[in-house]
Amino acid sequence: MSDLIARALPSYGLAGDTPLILLNRSENETWAAGGLILRLHRQGYHTGSEIASELAWLTALQDLPGLHTTRPIPGAQGLVTEIDGRYLVAFAPLPGQELRPGDDLARWFAPLGEITARLHLHSRSWIAPEGFTRKRWDVETILGPQPHWGHWRQASGLDPRGEALLARATGELADRLTAYGTGPEVFGLIHADLRLANLMVDGDRLTAIDFDDCGFGWWAYDLAAALSFIETDPRLPELIAAWVEGYTRVAPLRPEDRAMIPALIFLRRVLLTAWLSTRADSDTAQALGGPAYTRGTLDLAERYLTDGLAAFLP
């Protein structure tokens, strides 16, 4: 892939022999080159129109008061570069470092709630350009027979007993989410992946990056995504409460939306359990995936069936 990226560098005014540094291999590959951050998209996931739509929203978010995010950089072909059937986009670099599970997360979840609320307020009023298209994150595309990120039945280390447990739990989850609905009061254009690795900290400044999975989903799902891979952390109730406090400083959060937070956390965990198995080549899967993560998902499923994860309620 480095050879392919090297051939694309002149589109951004960089020499083809500019040093390349691979930063991350997850859903996509992220590279640093000549003062730019380059994202090489996974083949067969997003269309060119979907990527252009992501960048259209990201461009509209620039300079929004109270929100810091990454800035897309155009090349000779515009914001999306196509080379050998692959899509490449560029961003301005950011100072700081990503949040990590060992950090003082309680300090950051109230500001994250504020940022999320500002994103949602913008999304609710923004008039998207003609042709805007992004994926939906709903019952069918997460729990249905052909989900975007693979089916949870492919989870590493899942045995028949665990499969039966997850079938019961996800069945109840699907029924509850269907009843919750997808009307504009609960569902709209969201970031959908505000996990720790997509939050940059520099001093007191928190910046949201990587809108690659933005799409149409439940507003409160953005909190569930922020808790990715730390769903069993004992700090979770504290983090949820801090996020809700920050969010409600900026925008309202109805009691029925708060009540859905545990269900959406479980939904996200099931989604990630599938993703870790179907993206086994990613750095994230190699670091966090495997039977142990699946066992943690089964523990959450037991708790969801027992009391709906009531301990998570803010």
pLDDT in tens, 25-83: 888 999 999 999 999 999 999 999 999 999 999 999 998 999 999 999 999 999 999 99
Mean residue pLDDT of the chain comes to 95
Taking the C-alpha atoms of residue 208 and residue 118, their distance in angstroms, rounded to an integer, is: 12
Q: Is the pTM of this model over 0.85?
A: yes
Using one digit for the tens of pLDDT, what is the confidence trace for 215-252?
Answer: 999 999 999 999 999 999 999 999 999 999 999 999 99
Q: Which residues of 258-270 are buried (b: 16+ CB within 10 A; e: fewer)?
A: bebbbbbbbbbbb
pLDDT at residue 2, as a whole number: 84
Return the residue matching tokens 């998902």.
297
Running DSSP on this structure, what letter comes out for residue 197?
G
Mean pLDDT along residues 4-15: 96
Task: Read off the pLDDT band of 278 (50, 70, 90).
Answer: confident
Inter-residue contact 55 to 72 (CB < 8 Å): yes
pLDDT at residue 314, as a whole number: 86
Does residue 195 surpass a pLDDT of 70? yes
Q: Exposed (0-12), middle (13-18) or buried (19+): which is 235, by Cβ within 10 Å?
A: middle
Backbone angles phi, psi at 15, to 5 degrees: -70, 150
User: CATH number for the 2-93 domain, one of 2.40.128.260, 3.90.199.10, 3.30.200.20, 1.20.1440.230?
Assistant: 3.30.200.20
pLDDT at residue 277, as a whole number: 86
Task: Read off the pLDDT band of 279 (50, 70, 90).
Answer: confident
Taking the C-alpha atoms of residue 291 and residue 270, their distance in angstroms, rounded to an integer, is: 13
**Strand stretches in the chain, DSSP E:** 20-25, 29-33, 36-40, 72-73, 81-83, 86-91, 97-98, 187-190, 199-202, 205-208, 215-218
Q: Sign of the CA dihedral 86, 91, 97, 99? A: negative
Does residue 90 surpass a pLDDT of 90? yes
User: CATH number for the 98-312 domain, one of 3.90.1200.10, 1.10.3720.10, 3.40.50.300, 3.10.310.30?
Assistant: 3.90.1200.10
Task: Read off the pLDDT band of 122 (50, 70, 90).
Answer: very high
Does residue 283 surpass a pLDDT of 90? no
Distances (CA, A) of 179 to 113, 114, 174, 192: 25, 28, 9, 21
Taking the C-alpha atoms of residue 52 and residue 88, their distance in angstroms, rounded to an integer, is: 11
Mean pLDDT along residues 282-302: 86
Taking the C-alpha atoms of residue 139 and residue 266, their distance in angstroms, rounded to an integer, is: 13
Backbone angles phi, psi at 173, to 5 degrees: -60, -45
pLDDT at residue 285, as a whole number: 65
Domain boundaries, the chain: 2-93, 98-312
